[in-house]
Chain A
Amino acid sequence: MKLLNKIRSLSLGSTLALLFLTVLWSVPTVGLLITSLRRRDQAEVSPWWDALFNPLNQAWSIDAYSNSLNQGGMLESLVNTLVVTVPSVILPLLVAANAAFAFTFIEFKGREIYFAIIVGLMIIPLQSALIPVLRAMVAFQRATGLHLTGNFASAWIIHCSFALPLAIYILRNYMLSLPASLIEAARVDGASWYQIFWRLVMPMSIPALASFAIFQFLWVWNDYLIAFIFVGEQKSVMTYRLLRMLGQYGEGWQDVAAGSFISLILPLIIFFSLQRYFVRGLTAGAVK
């Protein structure tokens, strides 16, 4: 009995501590959310917690959201971000799945060494490759007249390439857990590697593909550097637009706050609906 009580009190203490921490962790986001929903004249003269403690005495409004979407250009940026993101998720998935398949099931010379190199490349900072790639693309443009920079294609290529090491690593880890006997049996039945990959391994790898897809989605969606350097101003994505709005203090916090939440909606939906896969992807990516 004594032990049981002790466990209970421990749990109560932990619950209170957790409650406090949750509130603490949520304050920054809640503060900005409330600000984005207040009328501008009020948000500028009183702090947001006034509105929180006295919600009935407030003029709530969604003006900031419509401002930010229309005049602020966030709607356009939302579309641009989507166009940058979706192919940047699909392409590396396909390319990495193929490579991971070869690394898992097909014997070839130097497999271990190549894989070690890929593991090493996982932590190479993006910055280390950007300038030469940008210059090569510009040279390519001059030579062929085909424009790679200033539009989405360059961002797709870069995001895809830089996602590959981690994607190959995660997918291979998962494929190693698939029953090898099944692949053996398919080989004996005369299936080609190509068939085994598409009919057997890809369908079985869907959980790992999903976790990586979520991970990559968030990464590309929230990226600033690549979008800034390779896509630039004409097709500005949301992070780019937000950073510029943030620089212009005169606009007031309202529009930037609303803009931030607009940029957050899709990631939050994906996060809360696919949390299981997300956590699994993280655990798989952590090199233990």
Chain B
Amino acid sequence: MNPLLSDILFGLIAIVIGTAVTLGLYWLLDRVVQKLPVKIRERVKSMGFLLPAATLLLLILVLPLLQTVVWSFMDKKAKKFVGLQNYIDLFSSADFLSVLLNNFLWILIVPAVTVGIGVIFANLSNNVGPTRERIFKSLIFMPMTISFVAASTIWGYIYVNPAQGRPKIGLLSAIVEFFGGTPQNWMQIDAGRLNSFLMMAIIVWLQVGYSMVIISAGIKAIPEETIEAARIDGANAFQLFFRVIVPQISATIMSVFVTVLILVMKIFDIILAMTGGNFNTNVLALEYYTQFIVFSNLGSASAVVTILLILIAPLMWLQIRTVRRAESMR
């Protein structure tokens, strides 16, 4: 049979069977719970709904996570303990310190810029009529549907700089040339971390739509009276914005900031596609990928992830706290 056709067929069958099995599982769990004596049933009635989710979370997320932390203290093959050796090796290598510096730059710049542009866009879009607002938002938002790999193609074509003598087809080189500069191999210039900044632009381009939509919804939820009152008191546009609107959407801004921050910490596909981590562009998530895929060094890869987890841990705490606060306001 045509392999393509058999793949399609296989997929369809898998979808039907997978769904049927899942549905059957929940039905069966309910049967089992129903058969139990009343006293026990009362205590485990939630289990019929929770067991599959709990099993998956435990087996695929929580236990492997702990395993990763343990392996970060083990050797290349995760066979024997080496103490802190992986961490010592990482922190004593200049390359890794450069990775940390890059990560720091990404974390410092991308979320702030994304939120800043998002606020401006949201404000502008709230000034025009609903039709224009809708069209504008759709088009700015559209990149969110693009994969990091496809985005790398799109931007790779902007940053491309063909060899000497070949026709110039990259937009960035053309613009620089127009203003009297010299086109370069942009992705190879790590002076001032230029190549990293050019890649950050891609993420900002992808994520601004998200930030704009959420912040715009936040601005619209502000009670009209507060704005009216400030106007009557004679506040100008800037005062109105910074003194009245921004304080009222600070929680929204914070949530967008944290979401983008988390995304930035995990990102690696773009850097993998654009430079492969060369020319001083490496970050933690890509370093993990390299340690694991290229060097098959389980201990070192686990140590890199553990460092990433330590960086993320405060955000987790923040997340739980904000959710709990929101819950108590219900």
Report Cα–Cα, A223/B54, bound state, in Å. 24
Q: Is the Cβ of A193 less than 8 Å from the Cβ of B49?
A: yes
Report Cα–Cα, A44/B256, bound state, in Å. 41
Q: Is the Cβ of A271 less than 8 Å from the Cβ of B142?
A: yes
Q: Which secondary structure dominates where chain B touches chain A?
A: helix
Among candidates A46, A124, A243, residue contacting B61 with C-beta atoms closer than 8 Å: A124
Nearest Cβ in chain B — how far from A268, in angstroms?
6
Q: Is the Cβ of B71 less than 8 Å from the Cβ of A131?
A: yes
- Beyond A83-B10, A83-B11, whether A18 also contacts B68 by CB under 8 A is no
B75 is an interface residue with CB less than 8 A from chain A: no
Among candidates A32, A271, A282, residue contacting B213 with C-beta atoms closer than 8 Å: A282
Nearest to A240 among chain B residues (CB) is: B149
Among candidates A49, A96, A127, A246, residue contacting B153 with C-beta atoms closer than 8 Å: A246
B200 is an interface residue with CB less than 8 A from chain A: no
Report Cα–Cα, A147/B10, bound state, in Å. 15
Residues of A near B169 (CB, < 8 A) are 43-44, 46-48
Report Cα–Cα, A283/B218, bound state, in Å. 9
Report Cα–Cα, A239/B135, bound state, in Å. 28
Q: Is the Cβ of A87 less than 8 Å from the Cβ of B302?
A: no
Interface mask (A27-45 → B, CB under 8 Å = 1, otherwise 0): 1110110010000000111
Stretch with Cβ within 8 A of A (4 or more), from B94-102, B119-127, B184-192, B222-230 = B119-127
Q: Is the Cβ of B214 less than 8 Å from the Cβ of A283?
A: yes
Residues of B near A119 (CB, < 8 A) are 319-320, 323
Q: Is the Cβ of A162 less than 8 Å from the Cβ of B46?
A: no
Nearest Cβ in chain B — how far from A77, in angstroms?
10
Interface mask (A256-281 → B, CB under 8 Å = 1, otherwise 0): 11011001100110111001000100
Residues of B at the A interface (CB closer than 8 Å) are 3-4, 7-8, 10-11, 14-15, 18-19, 22-23, 26-27, 30, 34, 43, 45-46, 48-50, 52-54, 56-57, 59-65, 67-68, 71, 78, 121, 124-125, 127-129, 132, 135-136, 138-150, 152-158, 160, 167-171, 174, 205, 208, 210, 213-214, 217, 251-252, 255-256, 258-259, 262, 265-266, 268-269, 272-273, 285, 288-289, 292-293, 298, 301-302, 305-306, 308-309, 312, 315-317, 319-320, 322-324, 326, 330
